[in-house]
Chains A and B, each alone.
Chain A
Amino acid sequence: MASDVRVSVEALQENQVQEVSLDGQETYVQPLSMSENLAKLAHRIDFSQEDSDGEVQLEPGEEEEEEEEERKKQEAHWPWESIRDKLRTSLVETNVLLDVLKIAKDKKYMVLDPVSQEPQPSKPVLQYVAKKESLSGAADILQKGADRLAKSQAEFSSGSRGQGDFHRELLKLRQYWRLRRAGNNILGDLSFKSAGSHYWHSGVFEVVKTTEEGMAPGSSPLEVRIPSDLEGNAYIQVVIEDQLETIIAVKAALLPNSRREAAPGEPPWNVKLEAAQNVLFCKELFAQLAREAVQMKSTIPHLVVGNQITSQIFPGVQLSIALCHNTVEEDSKDDTTSPQRCQHNHVLEHALHQMLREVHRSNLNPAPPHPVTAPFSSSKKRRVAGPQGLDRKQCTQLQETEGLLERLEKQAKHTLLRARILDMIDKLAQEVNDPCLQAHVSSIGTSTESSVRIIITSPGYEQICKTMLHVNIGVEDVKVVSKDGKVITLSYDEHELRDLLLHQACQHQVNTVQSLSKMMGWQILHLSNHVGTGPVEKLGNASGIMMASPKGDRVISVRNSPSLGPLVSVQLTRQKGCETWRSDVIKDTKWDQVGGSFKPVQWDKAKGRNFVNKIELLMGCLT
């Protein structure tokens, strides 16, 4: 046995390193002493296992294998008699067991009966059962999957709607809308957050598969569930109203028609989602406007009541902005019952959209910092504010940003002002035939500024004289620039411009007469745009001209005023034949030239197409 073989046991040359300290010092594990080593090895032997295994290894010769493995141990055990004794007893026990088994096998003297559930024999059985179960479970899952695949394959090939359609629709939906998966649900996002909105509403919608029974023919297998507060349709209504009537009304919504039918080939969910997004957009827009209305300080405070903001833009003119949100389906009559008397203003509507989008954009894209370590700031100007030493006024200007409402009001004012002024000019041009008023509205302008060029001419005499005025319509005032560069600022009252134009028309006629007299060789004695004599005018001053015929014996005097119209008088020198004037004192014929009194011309009876024409004819007959 083991005692025959000589084995020398040596400790390892190098001790194991227990740890390396931070200074590089290695601490070794102290080598074990002989007895410690033995104890350690002895611990490794699993005696119980030996007992159970021992039943097969009966013969000492066979046991040698085991002994072989643990030769070292045995060698070391040798002084330990008890170990060998235990092994011996175990051998004896196994021998006995073998005998018992042999006897039991014959079933003559002994019968083995199952007493209790022995762990050993039952173990593999249990494992088999468990394996079987799990395998069948896996098979079930695979089978189900295969069934589903087969089903969808069949559906796909047959073209019927169902699961496959749902996925195709989902793919389509994914192309237009943001979707994400949360657990078993598919959630979508119709908010403007990704575009820079800071509105509180999450705008989450849910995508569900239409249940089989609820599916009507022609409906989509995919259904979207939108939050209840985004249902229906909404628009922002902007109305400018006089005390008497509505002047301009604007319905602003994301969609041109709040209730539109699905375009051919368009899935029904898209309509629903777009409508919901429209509601969200309107809500955000209105929330922003209402917030500004409350914050804004103005002489006449803004009224925010429920879903309506009211403010005064001009005396007696109100701007009201309302959020109209219809959640119920039956409201479509409302549109038809209120006939749209007033014109729809596309510019104002567009402005509303644009402004909110601009806010979004600026939220998303602040001025990029340069150099990049610079902090984010609202604008480039803010960043240089410190180093450039901006003063108090400039700093407050920096912080002041025009709100949406303020801009909307400005645009509304401008729109209204422009409408009024153009209307006035149109009426005036109809009213005043002589001279002619032509108005050219410039197509280029901004939402708060536009311009009109007014040309005053006398028909037939356009080449002689032309009066041009440039009218700049602003937000609250009107600026008129005349040809000589003079700027006249007028208030928002369009009558002021009317008066000015009437006055200009008068002046124009006098100026034309002046040019005409030059061409006809008449001599201008006097010309004034603001005649100081005569009756007091209701507006402005009359303009007047006096001119003498080439010979100097006739004088025409023209006084033209907007309120009284033209007043033409002619002065004739004394009649030549009238000798009674000749006295002894006045002998010289030159005194014949001294004018007599002016005689008014009955102007409405004078011949001629228009004023200038009449003057020309008059001049002709007096020359």
Chain B
Amino acid sequence: MGVTCVSQWPVPDGKSGQQAVEMLQRRLEATGATKAGSFCVDCETYMSGQSITPSKTAHVMHSTGHPLTCFAIMDSGTCLVADSNFDQLMTKLKGFYAPRKGAKIEVKGPRYEYVDFIVKIGTVTTGPTASSRGILVEVEYTPCVVPNDCWSLLTEFMGTFMGDNKPAIPQVLASKQDGIYSPTDTILQYLEHFNNYRKSTGNK
């Protein structure tokens, strides 16, 4: 477990998402990273029924990076980290919380390892049609858990294959500073990106 930065990778004009992913993969492989399986992060959104006022939203997320864990985030920002059994619990609450239709969002793609770094390049898809929304890049530096201590190293590494498109420090990391990074922070970053995608599609 280390410090992770999740960032959005813009798809260049005139290129498909697939091409953009392939380009990133080529760059990574050129630096010497080796492919090590694939990854997937998914998010299901539940809306409260009429019986609860004011209405609330709950996001239930899973990540292959944390295979035994299920994350549940309320719109208030409380993030519960639980066993994977939590999904069953949600089915028992279906009278109160129902999954929002077509709101399932997922990011999937290859996973790379480069010494102490783990890089995941994922295509974001939503809904039952699995239409592509964009690309997310997750970079993790495993030996360190204090964001301040390794952020510069992270950005430097990201610069090697992301070039000028390397991200600024994410809000979650910036607020952590010398605190200890936890898996929740990674999930919150994903959720933030997912919400951005949702908003952008909503505007369209």
Most buried by A among B67, B68, B84, B183: B68
Task: Indicate whether A386 sits within 8 Å of B84 (C-beta atoms), given known contacts A392-B64, A392-B67, A395-B68.
Answer: yes
Residues from chain B with a CB closer than 8 A to the CB of A394 are: 1
Separation of A387 and B86 alpha carbons in the complex (Å): 11
Residues from chain B with a CB closer than 8 A to the CB of A395 are: 67-68
Residues from chain A with a CB closer than 8 A to the CB of B68 are: 385-386, 390, 395
Q: A389 to B83, Cβ gap below 8 A?
A: no
Q: B65 to A386, Cβ gap below 8 A?
A: no
CB of B82 closer than 8 Å to a CB of A = yes
CB of B100 closer than 8 Å to a CB of A = no
Separation of A395 and B183 alpha carbons in the complex (Å): 14
CB of A391 closer than 8 Å to a CB of B = yes
Residues from chain B with a CB closer than 8 A to the CB of A385 are: 68-69
Residues from chain A with a CB closer than 8 A to the CB of B183 are: 388-389, 391
Q: How far is the CB of B89 from chain A (nearest CB, A)?
A: 13
Q: How far is the CB of A578 from chain B (nearest CB, A)?
A: 68
Separation of A388 and B1 alpha carbons in the complex (Å): 11
Contact of A386 among B64, B69, B184 (CB under 8 A): B69
Q: How far is the CB of B109 from chain A (nearest CB, A)?
A: 15
Residues from chain A with a CB closer than 8 A to the CB of B69 are: 385-387, 389-390
Q: B1 to A386, Cβ gap below 8 A?
A: no
Residues from chain A with a CB closer than 8 A to the CB of B184 are: 389
Residues from chain A with a CB closer than 8 A to the CB of B81 are: 386-389
Contact of B82 among A386, A390, A391 (CB under 8 A): A386
Q: B64 to A387, Cβ gap below 8 A?
A: no
Residues from chain B with a CB closer than 8 A to the CB of A387 are: 69, 81-83
Separation of A542 and B70 alpha carbons in the complex (Å): 62
Separation of A386 and B62 alpha carbons in the complex (Å): 11
Residues from chain B with a CB closer than 8 A to the CB of A386 are: 68-70, 81-85
Residues from chain B with a CB closer than 8 A to the CB of A390 are: 1, 66, 68-69
Residues from chain A with a CB closer than 8 A to the CB of B182 are: 389
Separation of A301 and B33 alpha carbons in the complex (Å): 31
Residues from chain A with a CB closer than 8 A to the CB of B70 are: 386
Q: How far is the CB of A399 from chain B (nearest CB, A)?
A: 10
Separation of A394 and B65 alpha carbons in the complex (Å): 10
Q: How far is the CB of B144 from chain A (nearest CB, A)?
A: 14
Most buried by B among A389, A390, A394, A395: A389
Separation of A392 and B81 alpha carbons in the complex (Å): 16
Separation of A386 and B183 alpha carbons in the complex (Å): 11
Of residues 70 to 103 in B, which have CB atoms within 8 Å of A's CB atoms?
70-71, 81-85
Of residues 1 to 27 in B, which have CB atoms within 8 Å of A's CB atoms?
1
Contact of A389 among B64, B66, B85 (CB under 8 A): B66
Separation of A386 and B67 alpha carbons in the complex (Å): 8
Q: Interface readout for B160-199 with A: 1 if CB under 8 Å, 0 if not?
A: 0000000000000000000000111000000000000000
Q: Interface readout for B134-167 with A: 1 if CB under 8 Å, 0 if not?
A: 0000000000000000000000000000000000
Q: How far is the CB of B133 from chain A (nearest CB, A)?
A: 25
Report 28 cross-chain contacts, Cβ distance below 8 Å, ordered by A residue. A385-B68, A386-B70, A386-B81, A386-B82, A386-B83, A386-B84, A387-B69, A387-B81, A387-B82, A387-B83, A388-B81, A388-B183, A389-B1, A389-B69, A389-B71, A389-B182, A389-B183, A389-B184, A390-B68, A391-B1, A391-B65, A391-B66, A391-B183, A392-B64, A392-B65, A392-B67, A394-B1, A395-B68
Q: Which A positions have Cβ atoms within 8 angstroms of B?
A: 385-392, 394-395
Q: Which B positions have Cβ atoms within 8 angstroms of A?
A: 1, 64-71, 81-85, 182-184
- Additional pairs, 8, CB under 8 Å, beyond known A386-B81, A389-B1, A392-B65: A387-B69, A387-B81, A389-B66, A390-B69, A391-B65, A391-B66, A392-B64, A395-B68
